[in-house]
Amino acid sequence: MQSAPLPENEASRLRDLHQYQVLDTSPEEAFDDLTALAAQICGTPIALVSLIDAHRQWFKAKVGIEAQETSRDIAFCAHAINGNDLLVVADATHDARFSDNPLVTADPHIRFYAGMPLVTPSGHALGTLCVIDRVPKQLTDDQMNALRVLGRQVVTQLELRMRQHELERSLAMHKKSERSKADIIRAIGYGLEGLAFLDQEGRYTYLNPAHAAIYGYKPEELINRSWKTLYAPEWVAKIEQQYFPILLHVSADTRIETMAEATNLGATEYLKKPFSQERLMKAVELFLPRPTDRQEPQLRQA
């Protein structure tokens, strides 16, 4: 018996095989149907979708046998994956590669074998769609062409299966992210500290009840309103000149002309700026004076 040589691209072929995450999975109708159709078209009692792993061949779909896998050393399909087209063995007992193979000398007593390599878009043969008989046999040209077509359909099903699983994982991650965001928003909403988000024009896009209550409003009354409408002009200037330089770590005499200019830095960069406790408390004192303590700023009518 002659064991099949390893393909030149064996390492990358195995990586490609494993990325499909199909080994040791349950039977699936799409693969079962293609395997049954191959057996019917070719008139054989056995047909398989065989995948060649490092040390075994494993059957994703099967007709006519009970075994789920065999050693790679004795697999006819291990020979077939060294090519890109059908491997046909008319009578294994007359072929030096297989005549003393245990699959020939014992059950299932293979005589005829035809295997179409399952070649992925990246050019790797993962295994075969094969048909097997216990008597010598020849396929017609139409049967061989049909087996080629069915082999390509098996690869298409592998691709669709992988893409579907990728989409399901992506959707699951998206749902998890959305749940996390919702949990954060709920936590912010029930928080005792004031928090608000502004767009680049300085308009409120979100604020929690604690922030709105500082100014005597409900959140929905301030959405899409500029923060400047809540302050007298002299306090708008004071906040722009003193508050933003503290949070953005620029010198106090640097004037930030508008809220839009400040928020153009983006929330990510804004939040990366380190605050000392002293600076943070001063910023809160300037921008969020408690209603019970402040005489200024006075709320302006929008």
User: Per residue of the chain (302 residues), what is the pLDDT tens digit?
Assistant: 788 999 999 999 999 999 999 999 999 999 999 999 999 999 999 999 999 999 999 999 999 999 999 999 999 999 999 999 999 999 999 999 999 999 999 999 999 999 999 999 999 999 999 999 999 999 999 999 999 999 999 999 999 999 998 888 888 787 877 777 777 767 666 656 677 787 878 888 888 888 888 888 888 898 998 888 888 888 888 877 777 666 555 443 333 333 333 333 333 333 334 434 443 333 443 344 434 333 344 444 44
Verify that 153 and 209 share a domain, yes or no.
Answer: no
Hey, what are 179's tokens? 């749940």
The CATH number for 121's domain is: 3.30.450.40
H helix and E strand count, the chain: 12, 8
Residue 3 lies in a domain: no
Question: Are both 114 and 212 inside the same structural domain?
Answer: no
Asked whether residue 300 is assigned to any structural domain, the reply reads no
260 lies in some domain: yes
CB < 8 Å & 24+ apart, contacts of 266-273: 267/197, 273/247, 273/248, 273/249
Domain region containing 201: 190-287
How many residues in total does the chain contain?
A: 302
Q: How many domains does the chain have?
A: 2
Residue 183 lies in a domain: no
**CA–CA distance, 113 with 98 (Å, rounded to integer):** 11
223 found inside a domain:
yes
Does the residue 170 lie in any domain? no
Same domain, 78 and 204: no
Q: Provide the 8-state DSSP code for 259.
A: H
Residue 19 lies in a domain: yes
Cα–Cα nearest to 101, from 127, 131, 77, 117: 77
The DSSP annotation for 99-138 comes to TT-HHHHSTT---EEEEEEEE-TTS-EEEEEEEEESS---
CB 73 within 8 A of CB 103: no
Do 20 and 92 sit in the same domain of this protein?
yes
Among candidate residues 65, 58, 47, 61, the one with its CA nearest the CA of residue 113: 47
59 shares its domain with 126:
yes
Token pair belonging to 292: 């019970």
Separation of alpha carbons 71 and 77, rounded Å: 11
